[in-house]
Structure 1
């Protein structure tokens, strides 16, 4: 590969990486809370749907009732007035929702439903939901769940609660709804997230469009490039740009292939603020 092509290719990759990071930082992000490290496997289509709509997501795996894993950080909670973190960089459960626009809990159980409906903390789910609701974040939970947690189903070898416990669970669900928790079928959770974030996604899309490099014509002899990296691809996308002076802002990068493309069209470069 020619050295100029190699430099242009590397520069293009760096620019694409910068754009991806920028989009990720501005895109809304939701947190999925799962019972264990295997529970998320049935939700891969959800994550694809979120990605296709420009929504980022993180996954938190519960490691018991009072501890969980978010990435490489182990998060723990204790009793009333007691907050523990397993490492110095791990957030407390109450701090977790601040980095997200909403929380998704595909499966809620009787114990956590009772805690949330009663305003009690002491478990990861209860503290995250409490923090999210108090700070105005949305919380969406699965509505078609048995109310008995995965670990208990494996231990007791049963899939449902007794009628009495089921009735109690449904009362707690109604209490959660009064506090602001929304419910949807598990297969519709991603749909609900996309629906809630529709207006925000449109705003991000509009912002990203306005930040694309533009060409401002001054007269027949001059034009201004507003971007940070001038590539041959951009030059080729401007068929009207010929036999003129292209004004580039100071600090912008011009790739070697862009220089070649401009030379072929009789375009000269002038750096704004350089002199």
Structure 2
């Protein structure tokens, strides 16, 4: 039997490259985008390019109604409180989905799901995934400019906004979601938030071992003593919420840092001279 050396070398090389690629993919941080249907992701192509440039992988979950969805080739279903169904033997239950991700991104949240999450109810894919993510310490980022109406409802009712009474109720639920730990950002800046969140996490882990006095924050007085205050730094300080952060005069504060502090209800107070 004649062995083609060239083909054998090519096959071995291909296997080695594939193994290396799989290893890199496993090490890279991964987030999950949850979309209303199979067309909703088309407007977010630039987001995925941006994530890739920062070495962040993403998966997409398409909702197929309220209680079923598709993640790759797996159909994931939930059947309400106390009843979870898997469409196939390899499909995870909705509560199991966040385990393999650093965070969850939901470009649009509607009144129904916002109410469920805010009150601790399950029964829909979004509600169960967000519940699981928050309980296990994963970040959840939601589009702040969501209209509160599902895409299907907008098409059916031929309207783009909730009436004032429902809009007020929706905003109340949104405020409760923030209390539970859900973060909100403009839809066009969701990728930026993910990047800042993951960079902040990595930097926070490094600081826990190699922090210097100029980078640390006094947790009792919430004093920042560095020269540049960034959104990455804010996200790396999970204890900073609804408080006053004191900074020295002359400290440079980035625009994204201001946004991050607004979302966490952090007030800036200038100290002394720079």
Taking structure 2 as the reference length, what is the TM-score of the superposition? 0.70
| 158 and 197 in structure 1: CA distance in 2 versus 1, 3 angstrom threshold | same
Q: Who is 2:191 aligned against?
A: 190
What SS class does the counterpart of residue 65 from structure 2 fall into? Answer: coil
Match of 1:174 in 2: 175
Deviation of the 1:18 alpha carbon? 2.3
Q: State the distance in 2 between where 1:105 and 1:199 align.
A: 20
CA 79–6 in structure 1, closer or farther in 2 if over 3 Å, else same: closer
Task: Kindly report structure 1 stretches of 4+ aligned residues shifted beyond 4 Å.
Answer: 3-12, 199-203
Gap runs ≥5 in structure 2: 205-274
Distance in 1, matches of 2:119 and 2:201, equals: 32
Match of 2:68 in 1: 67
- 1:16 CA drift (Å): 2.8
Match of 2:136 in 1: 135
Sort the Cα spacing of 1:202 and 1:17 in 2 relative to 1 into closer, same or farther, 3 A. farther
Distance apart, 1:86 and its partner CA: 1.0
> RMSD value over aligned CA atoms?
2.0
Cα deviation digits, residues 205-234 of structure 1 (max 9, x gap): xxxxxxxxxxxxxxxxxxxxxxxxxxxxxx
Secondary structure in 2 aligned to 1:96? Answer: helix
Matches of 1:8 and 1:89, distance apart in 2: 35
The residue number in structure 2 matching 1:120 is 121
Q: Any idea what the Cα deviations from partners look like across 1:111-167, whole Å, max 9, x if unmatched?
A: 000000111101000000000000000000000111100000000000000011111
1:259 is aligned to: none
Contact in 2 for aligned 1:85/1:91 (Cα 8 Å): yes
**SS of residue paired to 2:85:** strand
What's the offset of the Cα at 1:10? 5.0
Q: How many residues align?
A: 202
Q: How high is the TM-score relative to the length of structure 1? A: 0.69
How big is the shift at 1:70?
A: 0.7
Distance 2:202 2:21 in 1: 16
Q: Is the 8 A contact 1:34 1:59 kept in 2?
A: yes
Matches within 5 A, 1:1-275: 10-199=11-200
Paired residue secondary structure (1:147): coil
Identify which of structures 1 and 2 has the higher relative contact order when contacts are C-alpha pairs closer than 8 Å and 6+ apart.
1
Deviates more, 1:79-88 or 1:104-113: 79-88
Gaps of 5+ in 1: 204-275
Give the aligned partner of residue 261 of structure 2. Answer: none
Say which is worse superposed, 47-56 or 148-157, in terms of deviation.
47-56
Offset of residue 12 of structure 1: 4.2
- Give, in angstroms, the shift of residue 79 of structure 1: 1.9
Classify 1:200/1:6 alpha carbon distance in 2 versus 1 (closer, same or farther; 3 Å). Answer: farther
Mapped partners of 2:16, 2:89: distance in 1: 34
Aligned counterparts of 2:10 and 2:115: Cα–Cα separation in 1:
57
Structure number with larger C-alpha Rg: 1
